[in-house]
């Protein structure tokens, strides 16, 4: 199985020619001519043709708020709120707002991170340390359904835990009995998704968290996608299975603001039921000559713009604004769902609950169909076991439903052999 390579975040020295550091500077015009030429190769998200990685509303007023907030804090450093107290207060208010959104108790604690992967890594760190301090565990493991975000396995890789991925049911949710067969006295964290990236289905969070609670093991409800979807679906009258801190067994939650909170990258929050657990997340070093170095994120220096953008947009939209966006987004999702289901051989995978659909074909090679869509400029994810196409639907896609379905109908009827089995990333 081939996968989409990360490509640009490391250099392994295997390039045919190294680009030398420029001997002389270029004009700004030349630099930006080069930059925008390169950008023509990128996914065309601004025209509503990309179904992952970015989540635009398509609203000019929202874009203005984000641009102004980002520009206002373009150069500040979120590492030290003592120097930039406005950032400290805005971050604290964002953490309080997100915590309230997922019904965290009064004694909850939360931290700001650069994205869901960091939020998950911090959650695993805190769980490992709680297991060591409270239960004497020295050989820890975490247990999660195979649909859980790879960030859990990545955190285990970074932090020296065993990662145990467990099978799914036929409906692509966590198999509760199968998952708990892998739990033992060294398990420091159990995971469920509300909802998961591959198929958009909610794991049985209530049953998972109750059983974790009975065993005295922390339970992470991963709502990196769902935290800015499910609360507003509830407000619209949709029946949502329990998934948040209203369940006593849920001990921590990851909540991305830069997905369906529509904030620019990277903005996420990790929330804990008990603020005292945050002490396990804080790095405190006091022998450095310049003074004490103490922070609670993986990065030291941090971009300030995501904090400002989060604060600005949450206050600008409020509950009413997010609810109205969700109302329209769910109608867009219904149109996609009905249109896909009406095409010969295509069927939706799993009982997806929000603006995320995965579909397969009982008649054709679905990856070959997806290749045709790629060639027509639509950027879609692939999923495996079974093979399918996945789409994260954003508000901007509402204006492009009919065009997409028209191209998909032609791709179903006229396609060759699959060239790609790329798996996309969130």
Break the chain into its structural domains and give their ranges: 68-314, 320-413
What is the spatial distance between Cα 265 and Cα 315, in angstroms, rounded to a whole number? 18
**Which of 5-19, 78-92, 110-124 has maximum average pLDDT?**
110-124
What is the spatial distance between Cα 277 and Cα 112, in angstroms, rounded to a whole number? 15
pLDDT of residue 146: 96
State both tokens at 235.
């407000």
Residue matched to tokens 């709502």: 223
pTM of the model: 0.91
Confidence band for 4, pLDDT divided at 50, 70 and 90: very low
Angle, alpha carbons 228-233-234 (nearest 5°): 110
CA dihedral 402, 405, 410, 415 (to 10 degrees): 150
Provide CB contacts within 8 A for 165, sequence distance 6+: 144, 145, 146, 148, 153
Percent of the chain with pLDDT over 70: 94
**Beta-sheet strands, E only, within 238-395:** 252-256, 268-272, 283-285, 293-295, 346-348, 356-361, 381-383, 388-392
First to last CA, the chain: 19
Provide CB contacts within 8 A for 66, sequence distance 6+: 262, 263, 264, 309, 312, 313
Q: How many CA atoms lie within 13 A of 296 on its CB side?
A: 20
What is the spatial distance between Cα 373 and Cα 7, in angstroms, rounded to a whole number? 23
Confidence band for 291, pLDDT divided at 50, 70 and 90: confident
Q: How many CA atoms lie within 13 A of 176 on its CB side?
A: 11
- Is the N-terminal amide bond of 73 cis, ω within 30° of 0? no
CA-wise closest residue to 269 among 132, 41, 111: 111
Secondary structure (3-state) at 356: strand
Strands in 356-361's sheet, in edge-to-edge order, are 346-348, 356-361, 388-392, 381-383
User: In the beta sheet, which residues pair with residue 217?
Assistant: none
CA-wise closest residue to 282 among 91, 126, 157, 98: 126
333 has pLDDT over 50? yes
- Looking at residue 42, the DSSP 8-state letter turns out to be S
Percent of the chain with pLDDT over 90: 81
Confidence band for 5, pLDDT divided at 50, 70 and 90: very low
What is the spatial distance between Cα 426 and Cα 415, in angstroms, rounded to a whole number? 27
**Mean pLDDT of all residues in the chain?**
92
- Looking at residue 149, the DSSP 8-state letter turns out to be -
Confidence band for 15, pLDDT divided at 50, 70 and 90: low
Contact indicator for 142, 164 with CB cutoff of 8 Å = yes
Contact indicator for 49, 378 with CB cutoff of 8 Å = yes
CATH number of the structural domain 320-413: 3.90.1150.10
pLDDT tens-digit readout, 71-93:
999 998 888 888 889 999 999 99
Q: Which CATH number fits domain 68-314: 3.20.20.140, 3.40.50.300, 3.40.50.2300, 3.40.640.10?
A: 3.40.640.10
**Which of 48-52, 164-168, 381-385 has maximum average pLDDT?**
164-168
């Amino acid at each position: 199985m081939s996968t989409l390579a990360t490509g640009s975040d490391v250099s392994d020295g295997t390039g045919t020619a190294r680009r030398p550091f420029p001997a002389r500077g270029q004009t700004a015009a030349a630099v930006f001519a080069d930059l925008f030429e390169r950008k023509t190769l990128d996914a065309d998200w601004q025209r509503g043709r990309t179904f992952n990685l970015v989540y635009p509303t398509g609203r000019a007023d929202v874009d203005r708020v984000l641009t102004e907030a980002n520009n206002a804090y373009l150069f500040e450093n979120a590492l030290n709120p003592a120097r930039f107290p406005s950032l400290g207060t805005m971050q604290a208010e964002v953490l309080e707002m997100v915590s309230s959104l997922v019904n965290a108790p009064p004694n909850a604690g939360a931290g700001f991170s650069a994205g869901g992967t960091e939020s998950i890594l911090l959650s695993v760190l805190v769980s490992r340390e709680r297991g060591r301090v409270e239960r004497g565990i020295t050989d820890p493991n975490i247990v999660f359904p195979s649909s859980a975000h790879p960030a859990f396995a990545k955190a285990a890789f970074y932090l020296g835990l065993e990662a145990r991925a467990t099978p799914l049911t036929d409906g692509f949710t966590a198999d509760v009995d199968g998952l708990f067969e892998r739990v033992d006295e060294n398990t420091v964290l159990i995971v469920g998704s509300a909802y998961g990236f591959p198929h958009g289905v909610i794991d049985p969070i209530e049953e998972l968290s109750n059983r974790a609670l009975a065993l005295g093991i922390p339970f992470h409800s991963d709502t990196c996608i769902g935290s800015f979807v499910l609360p507003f679906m509830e407000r619209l009258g949709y029946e949502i299975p329990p998934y948040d801190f209203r369940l006593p067994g849920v001990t921590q939650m990851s909540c991305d603001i830069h997905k369906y909170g529509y904030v620019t990258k990277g903005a996420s929050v990790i929330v804990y039921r008990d603020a005292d657990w945050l002490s396990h997340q804080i790095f405190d070093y006091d022998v450095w000559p310049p003074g004490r170095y103490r922070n609670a994120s993986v990065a030291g220096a941090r971009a300030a713009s995501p904090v400002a953008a989060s604060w600005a947009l949450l206050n600008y939209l409020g509950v009413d604004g997010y609810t109205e966006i969700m109302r329209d987004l769910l109608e867009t999702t219904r149109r996609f769902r009905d249109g896909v289901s009406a095409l010969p051989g295509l069927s939706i995978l799993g009982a997806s609950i929000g603006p995320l659909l995965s579909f397969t074909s009982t008649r054709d090679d679905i990856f070959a169909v997806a290749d045709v869509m790629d060639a027509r400029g639509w950027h879609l994810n692939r999923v495996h076991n079974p093979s399918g196409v996945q789409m994260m639907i954003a508000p901007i896609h509402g204006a492009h439903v009919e065009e997409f379905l028209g191209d998909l109908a032609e791709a179903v009827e006229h396609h060759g052999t699959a060239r790609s089995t790329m798996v996309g990333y969130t």
